[in-house]
Structure 1
Amino acid sequence: MPNALFDEEHAEHAETIWDLSDGAEAQAGGWASGPQPDGRHQFSYLLNPEPLGDLAMAPPPDPNLYDTYDGSMGEPKSPALGTEVGPMDKLKDKLT
Structure 2
Amino acid sequence: MRKTQLALLTLGVLAGFVTVTPAAARDYPWCAQGGEYDYPGECAYSTLEQCQASVSGRLLFCDRNPRLAYGLQPEPQPRSHRRKRPAAPY
Q: TM-score, normalised by structure 2?
A: 0.28
Q: TM-score, normalised by structure 1?
A: 0.27
Relative to its length, the structure with more strand (as a share) is: 2
Whichever of the two has the greater Rg, that structure is 1
